[in-house]
Amino acid sequence: MKDIKEISAGLVITATVIVGILGLYTAACAKVETLGQQYDKADQMYAAQTAQAFYPAPKK
């Protein structure tokens, strides 16, 4: 029984550490979100330009 208790205690500690890391990661992501939005806009513009370059709009 002692082994099971030690293993479960280890799992609890591991879970706590993971949750803590996820919390820090989420906080960091919230701060970086505006930067991410800027990158998304740049990505969308680049994708649109690339699509036009490879697949030009049909001429009317």
Average pLDDT value over all residues in the chain? 77
User: What is the 3 state secondary structure string of the chain?
Assistant: CHHHHHHHHHHHHHHHHHHHHHHHHHHHHHHHHHHHHHHHHHHHHHHHHHHHHHCCCCCC
What is the CB-side half-sphere exposure of residue 59 using CA atoms within 13 A? Answer: 0
The pLDDT of residue 15 is 87
The pLDDT of residue 1 is 65
CA distance 47 to 16: 41
pLDDT at 22 over 80: yes
Query: Would you list the domain boundaries of the chain?
Result: 1-54
